[in-house]
Structure 1
């Protein structure tokens, strides 16, 4: 993702990427818990689904964080610096049930281009399967293999999966961290179930989108949480499962242009952030957090780009 000069450019690129729509089409065509598909462009897609009943139980608060030390099947994520972490219990339970079968499937595609995807809690399975395949590739490459290909993970409306220790363990391996794209619609209550008032932390790139087709990409982790906060406000009390088909169709029709808005802003960094927040209709909600965001503010400096959190203190 570092080939882009800004998150605005990244958002434009992602909004036009065919593989996002193809990944969601694969999910829509998946009848069982997981299935392997081949896209029109010849890329293999491993798609995960999760039953509405299980998701409903999740939304009612049945599941919480559990320690990785009690879940042996997740030992491939730990590092020396982050030997333990906490992960959502639903994610751990789902992955434990399928771990053996998935491992065989992952091995078959260690040398092929593979997109791993899932919607809602199915995104949990996609994330953990991607992480384990990265670990397997690390082992192959440490033994001299040059044939392996890194997977890409695209989730749709998947809630945050783990705590700060999990975030740091993934950040230790740059090739792991850059392979995750999380597509989140503003009206999706599952995606914004966890935000800044919980121990959960994000990783990867988030592509936020709204019903008008507006969309914007965010990579700064604190900014991701603030946008989740704003989206959670509009979903208060809702338990409706969200279908991404229509919003994905609309974002393909819409591109981000500064001339679409009268920003009244000469500072290009501030203008870029304003544009991002306008695109996903959270600018007013984000502004409300100006007084509560100070506990995790990150100020901009020559060595650190301006982020949404630092932007709040420049009004």
Structure 2
């Protein structure tokens, strides 16, 4: 990196070399080549989006051939569709809105509530929905076994579009934490959707890295939708990594803007007429390392090492000594800026996984603080010690750790909520459980600060949105479980409801309103009855910390004030005998409850 943090070298050539040397391209194209002769052009035609899926079939055959092949280190699923002409592709440039594509609603999020996919590709996919569903289930089932081998999903032209759609469906159901994600490799496929689709895929860096699109410089199909009949800019946008190649070399580009400029530039678009592109030969050339022959063309004329690397990449694709063509200077500068920009954004992107371990250590320190606050059993306890200690006297770095943890989890929740897809879990279990531990330990400290300042009604006026979302996501996670099998996330000496102390503070306020005989005494009585029921439910569920019974705790302060109200019969003459909580507190089984919890 240079002092400004920009990358000094471009790795587009190395990525292309890695792809060629891994045998993934060779094996994928070999499976496609084996299938393509079986497609009879006279029996199939590109499906019209204006026709029903049943019209896609002819002579009892499907418009797409699917084959699964097994290799030592991976499996390949290939989709091969009927060959089509550039003219027919041009006719099928229409985009279908996400509202018409129910199978891909999972791509919608708050950031991208809508998107568009090529209508013909969606229609072709829908025509084989049942077959794709069975194949999807087979792949997901295999991922559960220890001997699971990763999958490569591939296709040529329209087969590549189907491969991309199938991969998206697969990624939505895939456990990225347990298995290697599938890799989609397409050859000469047209762009699939609009900028919103591109953003929906690229906002998940893991998903975006699962797509490698191989495009030969003489192949007109991939850029068909980039040649609109009018002067308006094409709505189609690329996602994933593009390996642009020729018979003498190739290079990879990640920035969507770079890919668009190269596909539409004079360098790539030299022959608008379709040609029979030999991807096998191009792959072999990459494998043999002809790409390095372009390095000599710079002759040391470029001082900027990153720009030199990009120039070599573009030269490798164009087969022209680009440094001699002054008309390409602006193009090179644009590509340099775009490629550098995407690397910079990746580096600066928030990575919750890297920081999670540090956050776990900070939580352990707060748990230790929670333990020592119990002291000799007299209290005041975790919540009240934090609340009653004067500002600036909090020891052990509690305020510091609390601030760091809150900044981290607010960012995690914001990103998860922003990118939350309708059919996906906002947070993986690892983060959901970590967020729950954080919420149960840290939110009581926020409540303490809130009421320390003399404020009221924390639940409606003071609670942070990220706490609400963490709590709701935990409820959503537990909903499918029975009460018995529901996962327990309880911590010792921590009440499961992170808002418990806010309820206690409001109950104390209700006691004082009732004792004062003010106009709100009737509502205060109702609030106290509700609070009794709430506390008794927690006690019965063993979801309350024994520390609430510490002598100097706010809960015990509430109880003493509440007893005075009961003695004055302000809750009604027969309330004492009806209240389970009153009997529980007066008969003092809570002392045994406390000792059992120690």
Query: TM-score, length-normalised on structure 1?
Result: 0.82
Q: Which residue of 1 aligns with 2:392?
A: none
Say whether 1:24 aligns with 2:21: no
**3-state SS, counterpart of residue 22 of structure 1:** helix
- Aligned pairs for 1:168-247 (under 5 A) are 168-195=199-226, 197-212=233-248, 214-230=249-265, 233-236=269-272, 238-247=273-282
**Greater Cα offset, 215-224 or 190-199:** 190-199
Q: Structure 1 residues 300, 154: closer, same or farther in 2, change over 3 A?
A: closer
**What's the offset of the Cα at 1:34?**
3.2
**What's the offset of the Cα at 1:292?**
9.0
Q: Structure 2 unaligned runs (5+)?
A: 1-8, 40-63, 228-232, 345-598
**Greater Cα offset, 55-64 or 90-99:** 55-64
In 2, the alpha carbon distance for the partners of 1:41 and 1:133 equals 22
Q: Structure 1 residues 180, 292: closer, same or farther in 2, change over 3 A?
A: closer
Larger RCO (alpha carbons 8 Å, 6+ apart): 1
In 1, the alpha carbon distance for the partners of 2:323 and 2:277 equals 23
CA contact (8 A) 1:12 1:255 kept: no
In 1, the alpha carbon distance for the partners of 2:10 and 2:20 equals 16
| 1:209-255 deviation digits (Å, cap 9, x = unpaired) | 1122x11111111111111012553132x133533122112221125
CA contact (8 A) 1:209 1:215 kept: yes
Structure holding more helix per residue? 2
Q: Which residue of 2 aligns with 1:279?
A: 316
**Greater Cα offset, 80-89 or 184-193:** 80-89
| 1:85-126 deviation digits (Å, cap 9, x = unpaired) | 011112111111112211211221121411000001111100
**3-state SS, counterpart of residue 36 of structure 1:** strand
In 2, the alpha carbon distance for the partners of 1:57 and 1:254 equals 35
Q: Which residue of 1 aligns with 2:572?
A: none
In 1, the alpha carbon distance for the partners of 2:302 and 2:331 equals 24
CA contact (8 A) 2:76 2:154 kept: yes
| 1:16-51 deviation digits (Å, cap 9, x = unpaired) | 221111011111122462333334434211101111
**What's the offset of the Cα at 1:75?**
1.8
| 1:148-167 deviation digits (Å, cap 9, x = unpaired) | 44110000001111111001
Q: Structure 1 unaligned runs (5+)?
A: 307-315
**3-state SS, counterpart of residue 259 of structure 2:** helix
- Aligned pairs for 1:10-159 (under 5 A) are 10-30=15-35, 31=38, 33-53=64-84, 55=85, 58-110=88-140, 111=143, 112=148, 113-137=150-174, 147-159=178-190
**What's the offset of the Cα at 1:52?**
1.7
Say whether 1:160 aligns with 2:197: no
Out of 8, 11, 14, the position equivalent to 2:13 is: 8
Structure holding more strand per residue? 1
CA contact (8 A) 2:155 2:185 kept: yes
CA contact (8 A) 2:152 2:185 kept: yes
Q: Structure 1 residues 12, 148: closer, same or farther in 2, change over 3 A?
A: closer
Q: Structure 1 residues 201, 235: closer, same or farther in 2, change over 3 A?
A: same
| 1:121-179 deviation digits (Å, cap 9, x = unpaired) | 111100000000000115xx6xxxx6444110000001111111001111222211110
CA contact (8 A) 1:73 1:99 kept: no
Q: Which residue of 1 aligns with 2:302?
A: 265
RMSD: 3.1
**3-state SS, counterpart of residue 173 of structure 2:** helix
CA contact (8 A) 2:188 2:214 kept: yes
The count of aligned residue pairs is 293
CA contact (8 A) 2:28 2:78 kept: yes
**Greater Cα offset, 24-33 or 84-93:** 24-33
CA contact (8 A) 2:225 2:234 kept: yes
Q: Structure 1 residues 286, 15: closer, same or farther in 2, change over 3 A?
A: farther
Instruction: Kindly name which structure, 1 or 2, has the bigger radius of gyration based on alpha carbons.
Output: 2
CA contact (8 A) 1:16 1:252 kept: yes
In 2, the alpha carbon distance for the partners of 1:190 and 1:303 equals 28
In 1, the alpha carbon distance for the partners of 2:339 and 2:132 equals 44
**What's the offset of the Cα at 1:285?**
11
Q: Structure 1 residues 265, 152: closer, same or farther in 2, change over 3 A?
A: same
| 1:259-292 deviation digits (Å, cap 9, x = unpaired) | 5332411210111011111111164899646679
Q: Structure 1 residues 235, 65: closer, same or farther in 2, change over 3 A?
A: farther
